[in-house]
Amino acid sequence: MYSYKLLVAFLLSCFGIAQAQISTTNPFSSQGVGDVSFFGDAYFQGMGGITTALVDSTQTNLYNPSSYALLAKGLPLFSMGVSAQQSMYSQNGVNSNARSASITHMALAIPFATRFGLAFGLKPFSRTGYEINTHQVVNGDSIFYDYSGKGELQEFNLGFSVVLIKKPGHTLSVGANGKHYFGRMSNRRMAYQKSNQIVIGSFQDDYLSVSSQGYDLGLTYKWRPSEKSELTVGGTFQPQYSLNAAKGFTRVYFGNLGNVAGYDTLVPYVRNEGSVVLPQRFNVGLTYEFKQVNDSIKKRNKLASYLVSAEYGAANWSSYSESIPGSTPGEALSDMTSLRVAFQYTPHRFANDRSTYIKFYDRMSYRLSAYSVALPYMQDNFQAQDVGITFGIGLPVVLNRAVSSINFSLNYGNRGTEATNGINEQYFGVGLGFNIAPSYDRWFRKYQLD
């Protein structure tokens, strides 16, 4: 019954998120297919965006499909998250502020049998959202230019994984995600003059829509040399492939922007179909966890966990291209690389321990991380860089032996280029994520009578 209700709620939520607009305020999102930064939930954000070798039995990880079979057995796991960001932009002494908020993902993972797991979920692939205003004086008259864009590309994942090796000291799992990409991004370029409170000018609207399929692969190897130590190595790979896409545009002249009936279409709406090429990308990660174990002499002690993780990723966005009739090439993109490191400390790692000397905050996980990302966007031959730090907290929630969690993250970063006229962005972000494991159904409880 609980699983059925959870599945219905998930499908309704997926429909809702598909209709909602995911926003960003990144000016670089005007290039390529938009902003392709990391959009993960609060758990992964608290770890600096590391996903490849972070395999937790209570956390849904759509980024590495081999993790599905390593979840806690017997219960489905529903996951979702939200995030918000405050950005401060500066360029040539001109400053501005912007806010954005979005849903990071929705997913449902179901481990079954002893070696298998499957999951499906929705998460953003890229986002477009910007507004740039400028003007110049020509023959004593001011001409204003507005550039704006919005939209997103989503990816729906359906994945499966299997544990190939399951021994006390070794575990090897593999998995794959089938992906369906869909969404639409639009841009508007407008030039106009103001005369007696009337706006006169023209604009061009263009859009890019995608509806196509793809896939990625994942691998996780766990080595436990002792009861206290565990080493996890993870890797993910997505090959280069083409997506079916369509592009359209139109140009309109207006004698009064507020009077739609007076618009004059200069170029009728045109739609052309073709494809865009997404790059090959891979990630490799390493995680080491040290766990304190029970002391036979001292029973009343906290069993802490110390975890360190690192990840390197690369995507050859320089190979991105659009094969659509009538499409003009945009700005060339560069290869994207990322390096992320993180540390997590849990004072007491058994969330369901009800001992009186274990306080609630002892069961919480505390996270600190840093990241450096070379973004694929260029400005005046300088590549954009994104550098930041994050802090996170994980709160376990135990209901009838089922462990759910609430994750919270804060991050601060700086994004921009070293170009003379470069755009610089300082941002503060906050994230909230939920991983919900429904409690055991009462129908399946067995009672013993003395």
**CA separation, residue 103 to residues 72, 100, 331 (Å):** 25, 11, 29
> Which residues, 6+ apart, have CB-to-CB distance to 349 below 8 Å?
291, 292, 303, 304, 305
Which of 77-91, 192-206, 320-334 is predicted least confidently?
320-334
Average pLDDT, the chain: 86
User: Distance (Å, rounded) from C-alpha 415 to C-alpha 28?
Assistant: 10
Alpha-carbon gap, residue 366 to 46, rounded angstroms: 9
Tokens 């130590």, located at residue: 229
CA 434 from centre of chain: 15
Q: Is the pLDDT of residue 12 over 80?
A: no
Exposure of 150 by Cβ count < 10 A (0-12 exposed, 13-18 middle, 19+ buried)?
buried
CATH of domain 2-444: 2.40.160.60
260, pLDDT greater than 60: yes
- Who contacts 406 (Cβ-Cβ below 8 Å, separation ≥6)? 394, 395, 397, 432, 433, 434
The 8 Å CB, 24+ separation contacts for 261-270 are 266/202, 267/204, 270/326
Mean pLDDT: which of 304-318, 343-357, 389-403 is highest? 304-318
pTM: 0.86
The arithmetic mean of pLDDT across residues 250-261, rounded, is 89
| Cα–Cα distance, 423 to 377 (Å, whole number) | 12
**pLDDT number for residue 137:** 80
Give the phi and the psi of residue 18 in degrees, each rounded to 5.
-65, -30
In DSSP terms, 35 is beta-bridged to 127
Q: Tokens at residue 258, please?
A: 């507020």
Up-side HSE of residue 269: CA atoms within 13 Å toward CB?
A: 3
Question: Locate tokens 């507005």: which residue?
Answer: 146
Domains of the chain, by residue range, sit at 2-444
389 closest CA partner among 343, 435, 337: 343
Position 195 scores a pLDDT of 83
Residue 226 tokens read as 């002792």
Separation between Cα atoms, residue 251 and residue 388, nearest integer Å: 41
Mean per-residue pLDDT for 113-123?
A: 93
What is the model's pLDDT at position 19? Answer: 43
| Euclidean distance between CA atoms 15 and 108, whole angstroms | 14
Stretch 9-22: mean pLDDT:
45
Helix (H, G, I), strand (E, B) or coil at 54: coil
The yes-or-no verdict on residue 33 having pLDDT over 70 is: yes
pLDDT digits (tens, 9 = 90+) for 346-378: 999 888 777 778 888 899 999 999 999 999 988
pLDDT at 161: 97
Q: Which residue has the higher pLDDT, 300 or 422?
A: 422
Instruction: Determine the pLDDT at residue 298.
Output: 55
Compute the average pLDDT of residues 35-59: 91
Is residue 400 pLDDT above 80, yes or no?
no
Cα torsion angle, 7, 9, 10, 11, sign:
positive
Q: What is the mean pLDDT of residues 312-326?
A: 91
Q: Which one, of 375, 401, 397, lies nearest residue 388 by Cα?
A: 375
Check residue 101 and give its pLDDT: 87
Q: Is 1 helix (H, G, I), strand (E, B) or coil?
A: coil
Share of the chain above pLDDT 70, in %: 90
Tokens, residue 51: 């996903």
Question: What's the pLDDT band for 175 if we cut at 50, 70, 90?
Answer: very high
pLDDT at 337: 96
DSSP category for residue 319: G
- Res. 439 pLDDT band, cuts 50 70 90: low
Instruction: Give the pLDDT confidence score for residue 422 in this predicted structure.
Output: 79
109 in Cβ contact with 119 (< 8 Å): yes
* 398, amino acid identity: V
- The amino acid at 1: M
Which residues does 201 contact at the CB level (< 8 Å), separation at least 6?
Answer: 144, 190, 191, 192, 193, 253, 254, 257
Is residue 435 classed as helix, strand or coil in its secondary structure?
A: strand
Mean pLDDT over 173-200 rounds to 92
Alpha-carbon torsion (318, 323, 329, 330), positive or negative = negative
List strand residue ranges (DSSP E) for 259-416, in order: 264-278, 281-291, 305-315, 321-323, 336-346, 365-379, 382-399, 402-416
